[in-house]
Chain A
Amino acid sequence: MSILVDENTKLLVQGITGSFGARHASLSLAYGTKLVAGVTPGKGGQKFEDQVPIFDTVSQAVNETGATASAIFVPPPFAADAILEAADAGVELIVCITEGIPVMDMMRVKDALRGSKSRLIGPNCPGLVTPGYGDKSYGGCRIGITPSQICKRGNVGVVSRSGTLTYEAVFQLTQLGYGQSTLVGIGGDPINGTNHQEILEMFNNDPETEAIILIGEIGGSAEVDAARWAKEHCKKPIAGFIAGATAPPGRRMGHAGAIVGGEEDTAQAKKRILAECGIAVAETPSDMATTLLERWGK
């Protein structure tokens, strides 16, 4: 088991002919992910790397190939439309990698997806990986841009807003010999499809996941909400890290900005609340895996 995706998940890529989308579609194929379709309007009928059929619309791709997940690599001005198109086609899991989508576009998308059967991960995220059982975890499901060579099949769930901090945690785990059930980057934008808590709930319900790393940062209350939920409901050991202890107040640190009303917005406050909720908080980003192993009793 794993969460959200497994080695049988059929993936399509929206924006497969752009340089960014093509590069990562190619890496997913090389990893053994079941990439069954690409979508680029106007390029229907062509093939990606001589093997993956390209369609003009997502619904054509879904109808022809049975894809249930989509990775979106289209440029920011067109990304909201791409998400809505995937939802309209009934794609169950929509993973939007695109960075730089206007917040008001996401506000409308989020509202449009309420009550829909599609789940959105991202935007502005690295995507997710359920590592495979092969050599170097080959044969897994890689959606997005994570370097798959650092992954290893195992029992730790990883959820993070930041891509590179996800890689950091996964790399540390793999180096110490501990694999991952699924790693999920939920994205650094203020309005995203899936939050920390929802992913924690999935990890909690997944029999293969035995322990969890939760990585967050300054701004918003998503990590704190997840920690409070975990205190009541999660029986699995969790290690946490919060980035941004040295960030100056009021500045947008690459990801989205802080908003009024947040004494819980600072890294220090979040770390304190995570600890109060029973999460083992890593002192530095270099200690994420070791902090988990200690809490896990390994």
Chain B
Amino acid sequence: MNIHEYQAKELFDRFQVPSPKGAVASTPEEAAEAARQFAGAKLVIKAQVHAGGRGKGHFKNGFQGGVHLIESPEQAAEFAGKMLNETLVTVQTGDAGKLVSKVMVAEAVDITHEYYLAILMDRATAGPVIVVSTEGGMSIEDVAHNTPEKIVRQFVHPVLGLQAYEVRKLTAALGLSGDLAKQFGKLLSNLYKLFISCDCAMVEINPLVTTPDGRVLALDAKFGFDDNALYRHPDIVAMRDKTEEDPREVAASEYDLNYIGLDGNIACLVNGAGLAMATMDIIKHYGGDPANFLDVGGGASKEQVTAAFKIILADPNVKGILINIFGGIMDCNVIAEGVIAAAKETGLPIPLVVRLEGNNVEKGKATLAASGLNIVSADTMADGAQKIVAAVG
């Protein structure tokens, strides 16, 4: 789950992580009011979409750029009017673009130096790791590749939490001293609290900046949350903006299905994440192109299978379906009934290959065979993949 820039600022404000002054606006009037509130500061207005590349993007109404300097409240209102309820296209949105329903008016800060700061959950040490670099404002992957010595990591004890000496080490690694060091230390401690309190998987600030007037600010942030922990964070769940997500994935999530849309034309419906990935791999191996990852989970109901089927068929690129179920937890017959119910409802306009194995497989296969539907049965994964690739052509 991603959040908007203005929502990241809300989280920063709540945990006292300093960031540039700013306010969110849904109307030109609100944008003007925000500009008046910060009068005296150099201001910028930014369209709120999850995609990057906003500055160089364009709106479908012809207006250029999703980020602009503004000089007056009137100009804030004018630009907001051209951005709000319009569609912004950037290198990351695809041609369809993203509808802008909010803009942020924020202080445009002057920068002395750009740093990198992130906190991640590290698998190997089973605890948080803090990553800092003096090389901020660029891709951390590039820094890691070109100048790995400029990335400093500090592992944090999973239960003891962030220690003062760890903060001092990281401060020293960034070469900060005096009041800037003090500000950074406070920012880092507060960011760590945010990371733990909100069950984050990742918080990345790039860049973290120092300013000529002696401030340390989080200029741009990216958040990743642990999906498993969202149940205890209704406030974060409320930040979800479904209009930013792939509609197929939104529909899938409503049925607790694990779906990721891809660009190919062979859809797959599989139980278990590992098998779902392997099914995509084997389709590719035999010359096909998977249209999605779809894990119906261990205990899927008939309703979920029907929903999964509909989501798959709603994708106009899909020219064939491979169902691959190894029923351990799952009853093969439940899958069979779900498939038949769905196929009857949708009419099954494209080839369907089904490979069932495991729990109650005989009954599942019998149910499919008795359905009278045009379903091709497969015995192994390889058999199923070859059959669907051949059917799609």
| Interface residues of A, Cβ cutoff 8 Å to B | 20, 24, 76-77, 99-108, 110-112, 126, 145-147, 149-150, 160-165, 167-168, 171, 188, 190-191, 215, 217-222, 241, 243-248, 251-257, 259-261, 267, 283-287
Contacts and interface: CB of A to CB of B under 8 A. Distances in A.
B274 A161 contact: yes
Nearest to A163: B272
Interface stretch (B26-34, B279-287, B335-343): B279-287
B381 A217 contact: no
Interface string B259-276: 010100000001111111
Given A103-B199, A267-B281, A285-B281, A255 B273 contact: yes
B227 interface: yes
Closest 10 CB pairs of A and B: A162-B274, A254-B273, A164-B272, A102-B229, A164-B275, A286-B382, A285-B278, A243-B277, A165-B274, A243-B278
Interface stretch (B181-189, B307-315, B323-331, B368-376): B323-331
A165 B277 CA distance: 10
A130 B27 CA distance: 65
A190 B158 CA distance: 14
A168 B326 contact: yes
A55 B201 CA distance: 37
A261 B226 contact: no
B95 to A, nearest CB: 19
A102 B232 CA distance: 10
Nearest to B128: A107
A217 B275 CA distance: 10
B228 A218 contact: no
Contacts of A217: 273-274, 277
A285 B359 CA distance: 20
Contact of A76 (B126, B228, B278): B228
Nearest to B272: A164
B211 interface: no
6 contacts: A162-B275, A168-B275, A217-B277, A284-B285, A285-B282, A287-B382
Interface stretch (B35-43, B45-53, B234-242, B292-300): B292-300
Interface residues of B, number: 63
Contacts of A219: 123
A126 to B, nearest CB: 6
B96 interface: no
A101 B128 CA distance: 17
Contact of B123 (A253, A254, A259): A259
Given A165-B272, A168-B326, A215-B274, A247 B123 contact: no
A182 to B, nearest CB: 16
Contacts of B55: none
A108 B271 CA distance: 30
A172 to B, nearest CB: 8
A108 B282 CA distance: 38
Contact of A145 (B118, B329, B383): B329
Contacts of B164: none
Given A99-B298, A104-B121, 19 more contacts: A103-B228, A107-B126, A146-B328, A147-B327, A147-B359, A162-B278, A164-B275, A168-B326, A243-B277, A246-B262, A246-B284, A247-B277, A253-B276, A257-B201, A259-B120, A284-B382, A285-B279, A286-B381, A286-B383
B158 A108 contact: yes
Contact of B285 (A105, A218, A256, A283): A283
Contacts of B275: 162, 164-165, 168, 243, 285
Interface in B340-393: 357-359, 380-383, 385
A246 B272 contact: no
A108 B358 contact: no
Given A253-B293, A284-B382, A145 B328 contact: yes
A254 B258 contact: yes
B214 interface: no
